[in-house]
Chains A and B, each alone.
Chain A
Amino acid sequence: MTQSMAPQVSEAEAPAAATEERGSALRWVLPAAGLLVALALPWFVYPPVAMDVVAMALFAIALDILLGYTGLLSFGHAAFWGGSAYATGLIATHYGVPFPVAVVGGALFAMILAIPVGYLSVRRSGIYFAMVTLAFGQLVYFIAYQWSDLTGGENGLQGVPRNFFGIELVETESFYFYYAALPILLLGMWAAWRIVHSPFGRVLVAIRDNTPRARALGYDVEKYKVIAFVLSAGLSGLAGGVFAISHGFVALTELHWSTSGEVVLMTVLGGIGTLWGGILGSFLVVSLADYLTSSGFDGTDLVTGAVFVLVVLLFRRGIWGTVRHYWLVWQQRRTTSRRTSAGSDPPGS
């Protein structure tokens, strides 16, 4: 038997129980701390890089809805991230609307694009799904490459404006732009959290853990997978749109499979099926790449690739997954010892 890529059921179910038992403390402390870090980030990190970190974090979280909670590894998510980046850039360039409107337009475009891609891709699962999504991602890449009248081809889409109701500080200073764009991305993360913790999300987990049983229970498995795919694409699009506006430029690289691979790395590094792990993964990968580039080392892929190999070989739980694992082990030990000391359990049990 092969061990499934997604975390074991007990581990995925346990956190809910653990937090319930501990009251609401942890449930509020962690998001509050995360919010504080997000608000403080541009004070410590160069603001455009901070924006990259948060945008990529939402991208990784969106991917985890599929990888961690539905058991589908999409290796073509660059199509939605980059597709939305182009759509957002074109809307912003041609209509001069405030950037949040353009970003929402880009995300909608990504969702529309995801319908046929998802419909076709969910006909295969496992490793086949990864290959098929990879190929469709490449199809989108080639279309953008060839359609250079619209996309600028290899030169990319230049001079994407950053309109924001005429508020000049936001439009020119990346520090203030960060705070204008942050709510969009946080909203996306909240939506991801809502999705996986909704009844719909529980069905996704059921499909991941036992597809035939979910089918036997009467769930239209393919429909659920397509919906998850489209939602994930929409959130990726939200992230890609903000990324495009932040850079004022869309490169063809955003659609390339190397971008799909990068986001998979972030998700795996953070921890598959942990959702918030994507934030850690994004922070590490983006700041590592930024550090390497700024220190004059031009072989970023060398490091990224080596990290990929090492994580897959030795650290498959990812950071958040590892922390959660040991937290649960500790919790369990504490509960058992408390029970034993209270004498509620007969000795030796």
Chain B
Amino acid sequence: MNAVLQYAVQGLAAGSFYALAALGLAIIFGVLGVVNFAHGAFYMLGAVAAAVLLDTLGLSLWWSLLAVPVLMFALGVVVERLLVQWLLRLDPLYNFLLTFGLTLVLVELVKQKYGVSGLPYKAPDVIEGRVDLAGVGLPRYQLFVFVFSAAICVLVWLLMTRTRVGMIVRAATEKPELARALGVNVGRWVTPVFGFGVALAGLAGALAAPFRAITADMGSNFVIILFAVVVIGGLGSIVGAVVAGFVVGMVEAFGQAYAPRFAQILIFVLMALIILVRPAGLFGREEVSA
């Protein structure tokens, strides 16, 4: 029983992390209709940035969690203005391919600069060690990841549902034509939303810096899992991305406990089952004339 509880808590921690990482992907798709393949590369850049900030300026994790999203937002704006915007009117597959090419470039650049071995990262002492929660031992850092990611998810949700900006963004997602007709300048929000999604990816990367190996390839397989997450949740659905993030986290935690060899495979099997039963995903809308 205790073991099950342990895995459940681990699953929640991993799930909240997946939810945070998938959130940016879902928001960008929702507003721009772009599936951002480079999301994994931006996640990797976030972790690398945190490591470099610690190494050169001595900025601790706390400051990185603030500084990295700002830097990544700026990078996102540049990428959108320079590259992504030219293809927004075309088939979304073109931007998928563009961001794929961008991924190759970014990963290779980091490889050339920092090599293939991992960058070191030292987490603050406060979150070292383990805590005891109702008889369940848990690394303190995992608890922090859970609380932090969940808080960000709630904040984003509040931003989207309770503020004027969120209302505009949701309107632009769901009924762009109508939003335009009502005088909302949808185009104005495209660049900041892309930057925001990239910032979320970078934030997830910075958060991952203390517990994952920081290498150029750290985002390569991660982004595919995120794709599985948003396919399970229903692409374009923000709630779906968060819920599916937790589901995948749970599957991974229990998979690793009972069938470690199949933990990664199980995620994709789950995705196959969802497609079989509900092609649009848990929270997705059915495609028109698919």
Contacts and interface: CB of A to CB of B under 8 A. Distances in A.
Interface of A: 2-5, 73, 75, 120-121, 123-128, 130-132, 134-136, 138-139, 142-143, 146, 211-212, 257-258, 261, 264-265, 268, 299-302, 304-309, 312-313, 316
Contacts of B91: 2-5, 126
Given A135-B227, A138-B221, A257-B224, A128 B101 contact: no
22 contacts: A2-B90, A2-B92, A3-B89, A73-B93, A123-B279, A127-B92, A131-B35, A131-B230, A132-B275, A135-B228, A135-B231, A146-B265, A257-B220, A261-B104, A265-B101, A299-B111, A305-B102, A308-B97, A308-B100, A308-B104, A309-B101, A313-B98
Interface residues of B, number: 47
A302 B89 contact: no
A335 B105 CA distance: 46
B148 interface: no
Interface string B94-127: 1011101111111111011000000000000000
Nearest to B34: A127
Given A131-B231, A258-B220, 5 more contacts: A73-B96, A130-B93, A131-B230, A131-B235, A305-B108
Q: Give the interface centre of A4, A73, A313 by most chain B CB atoms within 10 Å.
A: A313
B268 A138 contact: yes
B289 A211 contact: yes
A138 B261 CA distance: 15
Contacts of A143: 265
Contacts of A2: 89-92
Interface string B13-50: 00000000000000000000001000000000000000
B86 interface: yes
A120 B104 contact: no
B92 to A, nearest CB: 5
B33 to A, nearest CB: 8
A126 B93 contact: yes
Contacts of A73: 93, 96
Contacts of B279: 123-124
Interface string B177-200: 000000000000000000000000
B101 A136 contact: no
A305 B272 contact: no
Interface in B113-145: none
A4 B87 CA distance: 12
Q: Give the interface centre of B83, B89, B108 by most chain A CB atoms within 10 Å.
A: B108
A307 B272 CA distance: 33
A5 B94 contact: yes
B155 interface: no
A212 B289 CA distance: 6
B187 to A, nearest CB: 16
Interface of B: 35, 83, 86-87, 89-94, 96-98, 100-109, 111-112, 220-221, 224, 227-228, 230-231, 235, 261-262, 264-265, 268-269, 271-272, 275-276, 279, 287, 289-290
A312 B268 contact: no
A127 B111 CA distance: 29
Contacts of A128: 231, 235, 287
Contacts of A131: 35, 227, 230-231, 235
Nearest to A116: B272
A312 B101 contact: yes
Given A127-B92, A212-B289, A309-B105, A136 B98 contact: no
Contacts of B271: 132, 135
Q: Which 3 A-B pairs have the closest CB atoms?
A: A308-B101, A305-B104, A305-B105
Given A127-B92, A131-B35, A136 B83 contact: no
A313 B87 contact: yes
Contacts of B83: 309, 313
B35 A302 contact: no
Nearest to B279: A123
A312 B275 CA distance: 30
Nearest to B289: A212
A186 to B, nearest CB: 29
Nearest to A262: B104
A129 to B, nearest CB: 9
Given A2-B89, A4-B91, A134 B227 contact: yes
Contacts of B96: 73, 75, 127, 130
Contact of B275 (A120, A138, A211): A120
Contacts of B94: 5, 312, 316
A308 B96 CA distance: 11
A153 to B, nearest CB: 11
Contacts of A306: 101, 105
Given A301-B105, A305-B101, A312 B231 contact: no
Contacts of B87: 312-313
Contacts of A3: 89-91
Contacts of B221: 138
Nearest to B216: A301
Contacts of B289: 211-212
A139 B93 contact: no
B51 to A, nearest CB: 21
Given A309-B83, A313-B86, A138 B224 contact: yes
A302 B92 contact: no
A128 B285 CA distance: 13
Given A131-B231, A139-B265, A125 B93 contact: no
Contacts of A305: 101-106, 108
B112 A127 contact: no
Contacts of B103: 305
Nearest to A221: B290
Contacts of B287: 124-125, 128
Nearest to B29: A127
B100 to A, nearest CB: 6
